[in-house]
Structure 1
Amino acid sequence: MKNLRKAKVSDAKLIFQILQQFAVEGILLPRSLNSIYENIRDFWVYEEDSHILGIGSLHIYWEDLAEIKSLAVLKKYQHKGIGKKIVEKCIEEAKELGVKRVFALTYVPQFFEKLGFKVVDKSQFPQKVWTECIHCVKFNDCHEVPVSLDLEGKVA
């Protein structure tokens, strides 16, 4: 059975393990297990036959801005539309919450562009820079590409 659902506290350790796989390769930034527990309500998980194959989160920054973070699909299951479904669910949730704009920082901007995101300048996200990026080990040598999707005027 395929299922896209909100994460549960019991999923935190597996979410951490999935993110660590990609962090070791430098594809995603690492997140602590503590951070995952603190933000568990942000996460969506995609599972098949009770196995989590993909994860992603929607983190609210301000009344008009949210970020899609920690998007990862196990390598064996990539290119099957799982990441797209997770992003679409995050966008749907953002619309329901009344968020006006969703962004992501990514090494794969083409993936997000296929979903309607546009590459933008990082200077558009001052809250992001000063809340998390400033503490990142890659802060002075960041190669992530910011992408943004305007949700205003779009019906949920």
Structure 2
Amino acid sequence: MKKKRRPIRPAKLSDAKEILRLIRFWAEKGKLLPRSLNDVYERIRDFFIYESADGKIMGAVSLAVVWEDLGEVRSLVVDEACQGEGVGKALVKRCVKTAREIGVRQLFALTYLPDFFKDLGFRDIDKQELPHKIWSDCVRCHKFPDCDESAVSISLGEDPEDG
């Protein structure tokens, strides 16, 4: 039975430590890059939150604007207890919607779960297609320069009402 949840919402400063808890959990398993609490606070406006009816944060995602019309889905994290319940998909859909609204025309993610993103309309791309600017975060990864993540991307077009 699916748990009742509130709508996805923008993150608040008071969410930062819970966001970091989820990020650390998955970063320790090698599933995404770690982030510091300072980084979460500095980028709190990039985050969206999915929470249960009782207010527990079940997932988070960050939408980063990388360049003129390019955005990135970052730090997609879902509480282990909610895996397979659609939380991650709902968070990515919110990123896509918001990206369209602000004029992002291409949205990408670096991921170990490319099929998850493909189910949402993303396609595989060569990492070399991405601007070098995005690799500034990658140098913090213990796997750099031998990244084993897949790059996926979706074209958002110009109409914010699509999808």
TM range (shorter): over 0.9
Mapped to 1, the partners of 2:142 and 2:29 lie a distance apart of 15
Mapped to 2, the partners of 1:135 and 1:13 lie a distance apart of 21
Residue number among 10, 13, 31 corresponding to 2:14 in the alignment: 10
Cα deviations across residues 70-99 of structure 1 (Å, max 9, x unaligned)?
A: 001111101111111100000000000011
Runs of 4+ in 1 over 4 A off after TM superposition: none
* Alpha-carbon offset, residue 152 of structure 1: 1.2
The 5-angstrom pairing of residues 3-152 of structure 1 reads 3-48=7-52, 49-126=54-131, 127-129=133-135, 131-152=136-157
Mapped to 2, the partners of 1:124 and 1:64 lie a distance apart of 14
Structure 1 window deviating more from structure 2 (137-146 vs 86-95): it is: 137-146
**Which amino acid is the alignment partner of residue 12 of structure 1?**
A
SS in 1 for 2:139: helix
Cα deviations across residues 9-48 of structure 1 (Å, max 9, x unaligned)?
A: 0100110011000011111110111110010000000001
Percent identity over the alignment is 46
- Are the structure 2 counterparts of residues 125 and 150 from structure 1 closer, same or farther at C-alpha, using a change threshold of 3 Å? same
Unaligned 5+ segments in structure 1 are none
Count of aligned pairs: 155
TM-score of the two chains, using structure 1 as the length reference: 0.95
Mapped to 2, the partners of 1:78 and 1:135 lie a distance apart of 27
